[in-house]
Structure formats: structure tokens, C-alpha cells
Structure 1
Amino acid sequence: MQGYNVLMVYNKDMDKLLMCERLKNPYKGLRNLVGGKIENGEMGIEAAYRELREETNISKEDIKLHHLMDFKYNFHDYYVEVYVGRLKQDVSVSGDENILYWSDLNNNFFDMSLYAGEGNIGHMIEQVNYVKDRLFSNDEFSR
């Protein structure tokens, strides 16, 4: 079963989420989160930090990622690990795989005409909203 990851990167103030506009299929032209393939033998968290660096130029020193949830797609024979983190400070993002931008959080992330993932992005954001106080309470910069 092939593994992938999706990375939810919030700015330090937790009022913006790093998104991309997809330049290729699947979901070409739709807005999405960054992420990618977990290579054979690679730990999920290692793949998450690697993809983050490759796609956004955000380093492990800039953010602490937390494993939020997984989606398993039995009929497609793959799974997706979801990681979430909050930047420790403002970071200049750059990458050439997709068009990166910071999204406000007041959008309808369930709108499948704009967002990839069949509503999963909206669901994941709601899950973060439920647990963000606990999730980020131990981050050294939140004290």
C-alpha cells in the first residue's frame, strides 16, 4: 500500500494556512495543501519534513510537525498521513511544484469546485480547531 502525506502549515498567529494551487493532476487548478509521497523504508514524519523542505523551503528548525490523523483508501490501495504544525516565526516560502500562498481561514474549504480532497481539507481544519490548544501547548514558542 502506497503512502502519502499532507502538511497543514499554519503561520505563527494561527490565522493563515499555507496552501497551493495545483499545477498538475490530480486536482490540477484546485487549491490544496502541500505534501507528497512517502518513499519505501521512510518513516512518515521523516517524509513529512522532507516534502515540506522540498515543496516550501520550510526547514525542521522552522516548525514542529504533529501527526494529526490518517486516511486509508482501501479500494485505491493507498493511505494519507496528515501532519500539522505552526511556524515558530515568519518564513519566506518558495517552491516550484505548485503556486504557494497563505490562505485566510474564513473560506469554505468544503467547496469542491475550489479545493482538492473531496472536503477533507475542511474536515482537517475543523479537527485542528478542536485540538489546537492541546496540540500546540507544549511548543516552546507558545509559552
Structure 2
Amino acid sequence: MQGYNVIMIYSRSLDKLLMCKRLNHPYKGLSNLVGGKIEVGETGFEAAYRELFEETSISNEDIMLHHLMDFTYYLNHCYVEVYVGRLKRDVIVSGDEHPLFWSDLSEDFFDMSLFAGEGNIGHMIEQVNMCKHRIFSDVVLNENSR
């Protein structure tokens, strides 16, 4: 079974999500999260940080990723690991694979005419919202110390 990852990168202020515009199939022309294949011998976290750096130039010094959930597609013989993180500082993102952009979180991520993944991106964002206080506890702590 082939493993893949998708990586949800939130801006420092938690008001934007890093997306890419797909240039090829599947989902050509749709907005998607960054990610890729998990190579043989890699852990999920190693693959997520590698793909993140390859596709965006964001390093493990810029962000701490959390393993949010997995999707297993038995009939397609693959699974997808979902990682999420918030930038520690402002960074310039750059990549050669797909054009990158910051999407406002007010978008309808369940709109399959705009976003890849059959509504999964919307579902993942809702899951992050449900446990945001645990994932981004550094934000809560910083806000409470003011």
C-alpha cells in the first residue's frame, strides 16, 4: 500500500492556509494542499518535512508539524497521512511543482469545483478547528500572557 501525505500550513496569525494550484491530474486546475509520497524507509514525519521543504522551502525550523489524521483508501491501495502546523515566523514560500498561494479561511473548502479532495480539505479544516487549542497551544499561551 502506497503512502502519501498532505500538509496543512497555517500562517503565523492563523488566518490563512497555504495552498497550491494543481497543474496536472488528478485535480488539474483545482486548489490543493501541499504534500507527496512517503518513500520507502521514511517515517511519516520525515516524509512530511521533506515534502514541505521540497514544495515550499519551509524548513523544520520554521514550523512544528502535528499528525492530525489518516485516510485509508483500500480499493486504491493507498493511505494519506495529514499533518498540520502553524508558521513560527513569516517566511517566503517558493516551489517549482505547483504555484503556491495563501488562501483565506473564509473560503468554502467543501466546494469541489474549486478545491481538490472531494471535500476532504473542508473536513480537515473542521477537525483542526475542533482541536485548535491543543494543536496551536503556543498561540493560546502567548495570547494569555499579554
Is TM > 0.5 for Structure 1 vs Structure 2?
Answer: yes
* Percent identity for Structure 1 against Structure 2: 72
Q: 1:99 and 2:99 equivalent?
A: yes
Q: What residue number does 2:21 align with?
A: 21
Matches within 5 A, 1:110-129: 110-129=110-129
Q: What residue number does 1:72 align with?
A: 72
Question: Which aligned runs of 4 or more in structure 1 are off by greater than 2 angstroms?
Answer: 139-143
Whether the 8 Å CA contact 1:9–1:17 is kept in 2: the answer is yes
Whether the 8 Å CA contact 1:9–1:87 is kept in 2: the answer is yes
Q: What residue number does 2:49 align with?
A: 49
State the shift of 1:142 in Å.
5.3
Give SS of 2:14's match.
Answer: coil
Q: What residue number does 2:85 align with?
A: 85
CA RMSD of aligned residues (A): 1.3
Normalized per residue, the structure richer in strand is: 1
Give SS of 1:49's match.
Answer: helix
Paired with 1:134 and 1:98, the residues of 2 have a C-alpha distance of 31
State the shift of 1:61 in Å.
0.0
TM-score by length of 2: 0.94
Deviations 1:24-69 (A, max 9, x none): 1111100000000000111000000000000000000000000000
Whether the 8 Å CA contact 1:7–1:83 is kept in 2: the answer is yes
Paired with 1:41 and 1:28, the residues of 2 have a C-alpha distance of 30
Paired with 1:112 and 1:136, the residues of 2 have a C-alpha distance of 28
Equivalent residues, number = 142
Whether the 8 Å CA contact 2:133–2:140 is kept in 1: the answer is no
Paired with 2:75 and 2:30, the residues of 1 have a C-alpha distance of 23
The residue type equivalent to 1:47 in the other structure is: A
Q: Point out where structure 1 has 5 or more consecutive residues left out of the alignment.
A: none
